[in-house]
């Protein structure tokens, strides 16, 4: 497969799409990002990598970090995590208060904000150093030490995260948060502020395309069964209330973030990361979804 040629073709076909949409301006630190940026990287389980565009520029991965926090919690706590969070698509906005109240404080899945806050609470209880251990985990997956929190983004979210504060306080009122709500919010905002390049992000998802095993390290992160289950959740819940359209158009398990990134995988083959900051109305990268749709069309690869 000539991935270099395919990525070049995708970029040329996206000329009129890149920059269309709206950056996540409700987070002031993200409002300043140039909407014309675009990068796309492919990592194969055989150790090859291919990239095009702004692939060496760091961006805030935002909700893509929920894959890492869920993976870490799942690896340590196993099936016990499902006592406090569900596994169903939300069908509603990723920060819906109405759904959480209707379902008595049990988030629909771990990829909406309420679910990720509960997972964060579990990690605070389980880990000695939740800030350091999650960051080191991501560094290990991507084989890059040059991954850090963006303290400015974390602070920007903290100062403007009123809906998330409402979510975590309601969760606490329903006894589904065990730690101090301010600590849960701070850790959560730090997780979301992690910055990565598309090259690093693509490589960090390889373990999910390789049944829970980091290919080049031969290091097992999850059991085969656990990796299968996270991939299933990525397909059904990874792009919020656009998961149906994403599955229809793209045909890959994937996770998006309001920083404009999307990471996705083809089992036994590869992982791919795309970054384009301008979002559609569902909060997903407009050009990113189109790029991944073109990728599966041109390669003939999907999970279907």
Active site residue 63: yes
Q: What is the 3-state secondary structure (H, E, C) of the chain?
A: CCHHHHHHHHHHHCCCCCCCCECCCCCHHHHCCCCCCCEEEEEECCCCEEEEECCCCCEECHHHHHHHHHHHHHHHHHHHHHHCCCCCCCCCCCCCHHHHHHCCCCCCCCCCHHHHHHHHHHHHHHCCCHHHHHHHHHHHHHCCCCCEECHHHHHHHHHHCHHHHHHHHHHHHCCCCCCCHHHHHHHHHHHHCEEECHHHHHHHCHHHHCCCEECCCCEECCCHHHHHHHHHHHHHHCCHHHHHHHHHHCCCCEEECCCCEEEEEECCCEEEEEECCCECCCCCEHHHHHHHHHHHHHHCCCCC
- Which of 37, 66, 203, 290 is the catalytic position? 66
- Which of 3, 149, 191, 240 is the catalytic position? 240
Active site residue 188: yes
Pick the closest to residue 151 from 209, 194, 107, 88 (CA basis).
194
Active site residue 131: no
- Which of 63, 90, 96, 276 is the catalytic position? 63
Inter-residue contact 273 to 55 (CB < 8 Å): no
Alpha carbon 181 to chain centroid, angstroms: 23
- Which of 43, 188, 193, 250 is the catalytic position? 188
Q: How far apart are CA 203 and CA 148, in angstroms?
A: 16
Active site residue 193: no
- Which of 138, 168, 187, 258 is the catalytic position? 258
Active site residue 52: no
Return the structure tokens found at 221: 């992160």
Residues labelled as active-site residues: 63, 66, 188, 240, 258
């Amino acid at each position: 497969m000539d991935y270099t040629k395919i990525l070049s073709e995708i970029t040329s076909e996206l000329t009129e799409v890149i920059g269309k949409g709206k950056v996540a301006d409700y987070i002031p630190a993200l409002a300043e990002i140039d909407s014309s940026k675009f990068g796309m990287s492919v990592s194969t389980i055989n150790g090859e990598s291919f990239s095009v565009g702004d692939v060496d520029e760091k961006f805030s991965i935002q909700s893509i970090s929920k894959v890492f926090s869920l993976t870490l919690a799942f690896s340590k706590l196993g099936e016990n995590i499902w006592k406090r969070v569900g596994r169903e698509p939300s069908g509603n906005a990723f920060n819906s208060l109405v759904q959480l109240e209707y379902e008595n404080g049990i988030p629909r899945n771990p990829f909406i904000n309420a679910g990720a806050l509960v997972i964060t609470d579990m990690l605070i209880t389980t880990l000695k150093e939740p800030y350091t251990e999650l960051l080191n985990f991501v560094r290990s997956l991507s084989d890059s030490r040059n991954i850090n929190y963006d303290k400015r983004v974390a602070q920007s979210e903290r100062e403007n995260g009123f809906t998330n504060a409402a979510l975590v306080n309601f969760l606490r009122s329903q006894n589904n948060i065990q730690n101090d709500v301010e600590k849960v919010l701070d850790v959560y905002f730090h997780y979301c502020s992690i910055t990565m390049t598309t090259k690093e992000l693509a490589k960090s998802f390889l373990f999910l395309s390789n049944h829970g095993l980091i290919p080049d390290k031969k290091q097992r992160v999850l059991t085969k069964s656990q990796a299968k289950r996270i991939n299933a959740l990525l397909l059904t819940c990874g792009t919020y209330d656009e998961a149906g359209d994403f599955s229809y158009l793209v045909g890959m398990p994937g996770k998006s973030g309001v920083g404009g990134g999307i990471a996705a995988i083809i089992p036994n083959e590869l992982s791919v990361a795309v970054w384009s900051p301008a979002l559609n109305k569902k909060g997903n990268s407009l050009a990113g979804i189109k790029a991944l749709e073109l990728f599966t069309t041109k390669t003939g690869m999907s999970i279907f």
